[in-house]
């Protein structure tokens, strides 16, 4: 995917210093994402990250106040990458169902992110968001984080998808709720399939990805039946 430097600049409010602007900052971002993917947020610390990149722990605090802010940044970066692709899809000369199919495909198979000379794997980001993203909003400071734009990119993706849903199913009563539910399904149903399989049917018929896409497309036409 093309460089998304403007997204990185837009979400720099969660940083003390914009990490994309220096080699150390990009190293912190790249290795921090890899470390969270490997050990999880609970066991991730700036001290461990500093040891991994050969830099003092204090140098990381010059970029991020704490690991919660780091996770907010990573989450916003992920959805920013999805949002850039959604904007291209919304302007493409294709049908609404093709737009829905393409957005859903990206939700299940996100592309890589290019930050200057480093490449962050989309699948790696997907897995972090899948397992850790609830920790960005299931917090006491969610309203304050939201006020400062932590979920701006996610909300933009939701708007794009809800617009397509309303176009395909004009009788849908809750297109935004359905869009946010479909986005959650792209994350949590895969998580359930891999770790709590008794809670889902995803992966029981075809591949996890194919089952997810089929369910998400079917849901677009839900919630619009006229009541007697």
Domains, the chain, ranges and CATH? 5-220 (1.10.357.10)
| pTM summary value | 0.90
Q: Tell me the pLDDT of the chain averaged across its residues.
A: 90
What are the pLDDT digits (tens) for 162-196?
999 999 999 898 999 999 999 999 999 999 999 99
pLDDT for 9: 75
Query: What residues in the chain have per-residue pLDDT under 50?
Result: 1-3, 226-228
Beta strands in the chain (DSSP E): 113-115, 118-120
pLDDT in tens, 8-22: 777 877 899 989 889
Please choose, from the candidates 120, 118, 126, 108, the residue with its C-alpha nearest in 3D space to the C-alpha of residue 34.
120
């Amino acid at each position: 995917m093309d460089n998304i430097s403007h997204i990185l600049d837009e979400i720099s409010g969660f940083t003390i210093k914009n990490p994309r602007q220096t080699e150390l900052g990009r190293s912190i971002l790249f290795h921090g994402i890899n470390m969270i993917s490997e050990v999880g947020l609970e066991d991730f610390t700036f001290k461990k990250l500093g040891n991994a990149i050969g830099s003092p722990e204090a140098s990381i605090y010059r970029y991020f106040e704490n690991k919660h802010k780091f996770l907010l940044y990573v989450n916003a970066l992920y959805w920013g990458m999805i949002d850039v692709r959604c904007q291209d899809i919304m302007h493409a000369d294709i049908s609404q169902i093709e737009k829905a199919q393409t957005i859903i495909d990206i939700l299940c198979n996100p592309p890589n992110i290019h930050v200057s000379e480093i490449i962050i794997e989309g699948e790696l980001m997907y897995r972090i968001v899948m397992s850790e993203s609830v920790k960005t909003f299931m917090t006491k400071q969610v309203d304050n984080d939201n006020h400062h734009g932590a979920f701006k990119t996610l909300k933009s993706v939701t708007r794009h998808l809800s617009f397509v849903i309303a176009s395909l199913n004009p009788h849908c009563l809750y297109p935004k709720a359905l869009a946010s539910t479909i986005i959650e399904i792209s994350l949590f149903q895969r998580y359930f399939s891999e770790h709590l399989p008794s809670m889902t049917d995803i992966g029981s018929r075809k591949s996890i990805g194919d089952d997810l896409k089929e369910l998400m497309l079917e849901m677009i036409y839900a919630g619009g039946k006229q009541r007697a």
